Structure 1
Amino acid sequence: MYNILSIDTTTNICYIGLYYNNNLFKFSRKYNFNYLDKILYDIDYFLFKNNISIKNINIIVCICGPGDFTSTKIGICICHGLSFGIDIPIIKINSLEILAYSSYLYFNKKNNIISMINGYSKLIYWSEFYISRKNICISKFKVIKFTYLCDIIKYINKFDNEYIISGNAYTNHINKFLDNKNILFSKIKVQKIEDVISLSLKLISLNKFSNFKKVLPIY
């Protein structure tokens, strides 16, 4: 039986998920990026509150970014420490991947899905995904792209595909997409803990584990 602890510190809100004995427990708190003072206490209290020992966790799920530089690195370091300290494997998921998976569940369509997250200096992290026969997200790019919105629009307009767009980077610019009739806008703006766990279970079934040394932050 899989007992999973997921940790996501990529934004100013910390999301912790716990899948234990087929039950899902969720925790979130707004930290305003002040993670060092609180997150270890909150993980410990969250487990204690649900009467679960860290020794009973057998898989760590790490959301590795893109996200804030410092908070993402803190979350990954905690995942590294837990994986090494209690000798359990890690499943790594990036933020764009889980947004794409949530959008797939929302629309129940295996369209081309573009996930977009605000970066810095008006640049946007984005990637395009398709849903495999195993119902997991596969990126069409080898690396996450980091470009301006106009470059994403040019990319979309090159093809006559129907796209689903998710994330927080398009909401203030919907009018720029209106000329393209093949776009569905997802309401999914942030990662959902239940979808992180759902995708994790699929990745576990496919043995998609990572050595903790290879789980690196995406900034």
Structure 2
Amino acid sequence: MSNILALDTSTENCSAALSINGEVLVREFVSPREHTKRILPMVDSLLSEAGIKLTDLDALAFGRGPGSFTGVRIGTGIAQGLAFGADLPMLPVSTLAIMAQGAHRLHNATDVLPAIDARMGEIYFAQYQLNDAGIMTLVGNEMVITAAELVANYNQPEREFYTLGTGWETYAEQLAGLNVSQLTACEGIQFPISHDMIAIATADFANGKAVAVEDAMPVYVRDTVTWKKLPGRE
């Protein structure tokens, strides 16, 4: 069992989690403008509770985006600094994947449409499906898109999905028209939390997906193509 520290500051929620000897310890706090003040004390608290040092870990995972540009940069920079100082490999994890994994953990969901409010009338959106190993896997591409564009171009009429995130909360009325069989809201999941990053990071580490500090980059998504890559669109 790998020992992994995970941290995320990509949205209003600030969180850290530590997987040590199969046990997961968690710290989180909704603090939109205090991430730089809160994340390192969270890390210190986790390490202290577990009675270990950073150098005792196998890897460091972080929420690489999408999300708030400032938040993603903060999380990436702090994670890189910690990993560099402890000579640890890094595991960049999508914030949308983290949310999807949370839907499985809390609601046993297998098909999920996470969405984060991207401001400027847009959402960060993706489709995830549970694989045989119990890990949420991306279907298609992550994207930034308006609710109207998504409704006009998304085509999965025979599929049922769980929904979660601030994107669904902000644009609930528009997104209710999505062309799917059924939408079920996941209560209690607005933001990604590091607890759910652990499962993905552990699987990625076991599959050799860890990268060096200099290769651990944030992902902002806004530069990608949107509706042309939607699942179900030819």
| C-alpha distance after superposition, 1:45-80 (max 9, x if no partner) | 442344322221221011111122222212111211
TM-score if structure 1 supplies the norm length? 0.85
Structure 1 alignment gaps of length 5 or more: none
- Is the contact between residue 129 and residue 137 of structure 1 (CA under 8 Å) also seen in structure 2? yes
- Name the residue aligned to 1:117: 116
- Name the residue aligned to 2:204: 203
TM-score if structure 2 supplies the norm length? 0.80
1:165-184 to 2 correspondences below 5 Å: 165-176=163-174, 177=176, 181-184=181-184
Amino acid across the alignment from 2:93: I
2:211 is the alignment partner of 1:213 = no
Worse-matched range after superposition: 48-57 or 19-28: 48-57
SS in 2 for 1:184: strand
2:104 is the alignment partner of 1:104 = yes
- Is the contact between residue 110 and residue 130 of structure 1 (CA under 8 Å) also seen in structure 2? yes
- Is the contact between residue 60 and residue 89 of structure 1 (CA under 8 Å) also seen in structure 2? yes
1:79-158 to 2 correspondences below 5 Å: 79-111=79-111, 113-142=112-141, 144-157=142-155
| C-alpha distance after superposition, 1:167-208 (max 9, x if no partner) | 221124434416854222222322243322222222223222
User: CA distance change for structure 1 residues 158 and 132 in 2, over 3 Å: closer, same or farther?
Assistant: closer
* Distance in 2 between residues matched to 1:16 and 1:183, nearest whole Å: 30
Which of structure 1's runs of 4+ aligned residues deviate more than 4 A? Answer: 178-181
User: CA distance change for structure 1 residues 86 and 125 in 2, over 3 Å: closer, same or farther?
Assistant: same
- Is the contact between residue 11 and residue 33 of structure 1 (CA under 8 Å) also seen in structure 2? no
SS in 2 for 1:133: coil
Number of corresponding residues: 217
* Distance in 2 between residues matched to 1:81 and 1:196, nearest whole Å: 19
Worse-matched range after superposition: 68-77 or 117-126: 68-77
* Distance in 2 between residues matched to 1:137 and 1:210, nearest whole Å: 20
* Distance in 1 between residues matched to 2:20 and 2:204, nearest whole Å: 17
* Distance in 2 between residues matched to 1:173 and 1:31, nearest whole Å: 23
By how many angstroms is 1:156 displaced? 3.4
* Distance in 2 between residues matched to 1:109 and 1:199, nearest whole Å: 15
* Distance in 2 between residues matched to 1:43 and 1:108, nearest whole Å: 29
